[in-house]
A and B are shown apart, each in its own frame.
Chain A
Amino acid sequence: AQSVTQPDIHITVSEGASLELRCNYSYGATPYLFWYVQSPGQGLQLLLKYFSGDTLVQGIKGFEAEFKRSQSSFNLRKPSVHWSDAAEYFCAVGALYSSASKIIFGSGTRLSIRP
Chain B
Amino acid sequence: DAGVTQSPTHLIKTRGQQVTLRCSPKSGHDTVSWYQQALGQGPQFIFQYYEEEERQRGNFPDRFSGHQFPNYSSELNVNALLLGDSALYLCASSGGLAGVHEQYFGPGTRLTVT
* Given A44-B105, A99-B55, A100-B50, A105:B97 Cβ within 8 A: no
| Contact assessment for B56 and A100 in the assembled complex, using a CB-CB cutoff below 8 Å | yes
A104 touches B45 (CB 8 A): yes
Most chain B C-beta atoms within 10 Å of own C-beta, residue among A42, A97, A101: A101
Q: Are B107 and A105 in contact (CB under 8 A)?
A: no
With contacts A51-B101, A101-B98, A101-B100 taken as known, whether A44 is within 8 angstroms of B43 at the C-beta atoms is: yes
**Cα-based distance from A92 to B42 in the complex (angstroms):** 9
Chain B contacts of A104 at CB under 8 A? Answer: 45
Query: Which residues of chain A (85-115) have a CB below 8 Å from chain B?
Result: 90, 92, 94-97, 99-108
Taking a contact as CB atoms under 8 Å apart, the answer to whether A108 and B42 are in contact is yes
Which one, A97, A99, A103, contacts B103 given CB within 8 A?
Answer: A103
Interface size in chain B (residues, C-beta < 8 A): 27
- Known contacts A103-B45, A105-B42; A42/B50 CB under 8 A: no
> Complex formed: what's the CA distance from A106 to B94 in Å?
21
Chain B residues with CB under 8 Å of A95's CB are 100
- In the complex formed, the residue of A with least CB distance to B108 is A43
A100 in complex: contacting residue of B40, B43, B55, B108, CB < 8 Å: B55
Who on chain B is nearest to A98 by CB?
A: B97
Which residues on the A side are within 8 Å of B108 (C-beta)? 43
Q: Report whether B99 and A43 are in contact in the complex, using a CB–CB cutoff of 8 Å.
A: no
Determine if B97 and A101 form an interchain contact, defined as CB atoms under 8 angstroms apart. Answer: yes
Query: In the bound complex, what is the Cα–Cα distance between A103 and B34 (angstroms)?
Result: 10
A42, B88: Cα distance in complex, Å: 10
Contacts of A97 in B (CB 8 A): 56
Task: Kindly state the separation between the CA atoms of A97 and B90 in the bound complex, as whole angstroms.
Answer: 21
Taken together as a complex, chains A and B put the C-alpha atoms of A95 and B48 apart, in Å, by 12
A29-56 at interface with B (beta carbon < 8 Å) = 32, 36, 41-44, 46, 49, 51
* A49 and B101 form a contact (CB under 8 A): yes
